[in-house]
């Protein structure tokens, strides 16, 4: 049984880590971009970012003044049991969000869309978002927090099968140019692309692709992996760099996730994470152990399954 106290304590630690400590995979990707960049202003911005990350970690302060909209991804092993059940879990995550807003501190960004009511704690109707995933085995729970900007850096278009790969490329470039020219995202960034599903699941796929995969990770489908590499190079060839200045460091990495869709359509969403790439992960075991990491490990074979049933690994079947 995983205790609610352990969940809340871990969640508050994750909030602190996500706001302050840039993941190593993104830091290395950013350093590679800085080494390759030759645009004067883009180079200046990239160097300033790297220095800011060091200062944030040393001073234990949030790396960006706009700490985005904290959200949670929760993944459970099939045998996991939570004290008080899922309602208690969600209450603990909301308490952790409110407490961390004061203690880190985070900027209280969440307000009512009409009345602009602000509880000064990033908690309200539908906030923070909590999304769930499950795995066939295990008595653990993974808590993943992502602090993603909540204004721009996202677009959607209904394409059609006849648009093909060229149509996907056009919309990808349209989105990046708009992000850069109109200040709709903070580049460089990990770009996530969702293909297929319905409109809502397409948007979810794209955001998860941006936020829940690490720099250097490749889709297991080699054809999609080749597209990811091509789109990364394509995004860095449009003449825009850091924060939209002239340069060639628009994209740190590109991740594509797909979902089966209606036969007549080909939905597509494009999501830019942000130059802070704020995410942190912890696995809480039933015996109380907590393991921290920065790789969400969300997109397992089970999450990408195509079949009706799911066969357990042979090693498990033999040992059962």
Residue 317: per-residue pLDDT: 42
Cα-to-chain-centroid distance, residue 189: 11
Residue 5 parent element (H or E): helix 4-20
When pLDDT is averaged across residues 142-170 and rounded to a whole number, the result is 93
Before 128, cis peptide (omega within 30)? yes
Question: Please, which residues have CB within 8 angstroms of residue 187's CB and are 6 or more apart in sequence?
Answer: 179, 180, 240, 241, 242, 243, 244, 249, 250, 251, 272, 275
Q: Report the share of the chain in percent with pLDDT over 90.
A: 88
207-231: per-residue pLDDT in tens? 999 999 999 999 999 999 999 999 9
Q: Report the share of the chain in percent with pLDDT over 70.
A: 98
Cα-to-chain-centroid distance, residue 269: 14
When pLDDT is averaged across residues 13-23 and rounded to a whole number, the result is 96
Residue 284: per-residue pLDDT: 98
- Record the tokens describing residue 127, joined without a space: 């906030």
Residue 265 CA to residue 162 CA, distance in Å, equals 9
Look at residue 89 and tell me whether its pLDDT is greater than 60: yes
Q: Compute φ and ψ for 160, nearest 5 degrees.
A: -125, 160
Q: Which residue has the tokens 């045998």?
A: 79
pTM of the model: 0.94
Look at residue 272 and tell me whether its pLDDT is greater than 70: yes
Residue 209 CA to residue 113 CA, distance in Å, equals 27
Structural domains in the chain plus CATH codes: 4-17+63-149+279-314 (3.30.360), 150-273 (no CATH)
Residue 153: per-residue pLDDT: 87
**Mean pLDDT of all residues in the chain?**
94
In terms of pLDDT, which residue wins out, 318 or 172?
172
- Record the tokens describing residue 243, joined without a space: 């924060």
Q: Which residue has the tokens 């490329």?
A: 169
Q: Are 71 and 146 in contact (CB under 8 A)?
A: yes
Residue 314: per-residue pLDDT: 57
196-206: per-residue pLDDT in tens? 999 999 999 99
Residue 281 CA to residue 205 CA, distance in Å, equals 19
When pLDDT is averaged across residues 278-303 and rounded to a whole number, the result is 97
């Amino acid at each position: 049984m995983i205790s609610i106290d352990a969940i809340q304590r871990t969640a508050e630690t994750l909030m602190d880590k996500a706001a302050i400590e840039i993941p190593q995979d993104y830091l290395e990707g950013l350093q590679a971009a800085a080494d390759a960049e030759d645009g004067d202003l883009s180079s200046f911005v990239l160097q300033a970012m790297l220095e800011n990350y060091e200062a944030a970690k040393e001073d234990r302060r949030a790396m960006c003044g706009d700490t985005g909209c904290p959200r949670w991804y929760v993944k459970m092993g099939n045998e996991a049991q939570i004290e008080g059940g899922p309602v208690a879990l969600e209450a603990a995550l909301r308490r952790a969000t409110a407490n961390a807003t004061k203690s880190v501190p985070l900027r209280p960004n969440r307000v009512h869309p009409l009345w602009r009511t602000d509880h000064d704690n990033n908690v309200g109707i539908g906030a923070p978002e909590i999304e769930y995933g499950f795995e066939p085995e295990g008595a653990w729970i993974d808590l993943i927090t992502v602090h993603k900007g909540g204004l721009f850096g996202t677009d959607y278009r209904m394409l059609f099968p006849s648009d093909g790969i060229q149509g996907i490329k056009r919309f990808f470039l349209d989105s990046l140019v708009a992000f850069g020219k109109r200040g709709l995202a903070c580049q460089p960034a990990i770009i996530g692309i969702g293909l297929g599903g319905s409109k809502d699941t397409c948007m979810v796929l794209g955001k998860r692709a941006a936020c829940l995969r690490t720099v250097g990770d490749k889709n297991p489908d080699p054809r999609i992996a080749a597209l990811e590499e091509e789109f990364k190079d394509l995004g860095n060839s449009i003449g825009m760099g850091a924060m939209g200045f002239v340069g060639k460091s628009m994209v740190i990495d590109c991740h594509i996730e797909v979902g089966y869709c209606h036969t007549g359509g080909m939905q597509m969403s494009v999501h830019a994470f942000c130059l802070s790439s704020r995410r942190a992960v912890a696995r809480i075991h039933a015996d109380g152990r907590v393991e921290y990491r920065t790789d969400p490990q969300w997109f397992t074979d089970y999450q990408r399954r195509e079949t009706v049933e799911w066969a357990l690994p042979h090693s498990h079947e033999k040992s059962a």
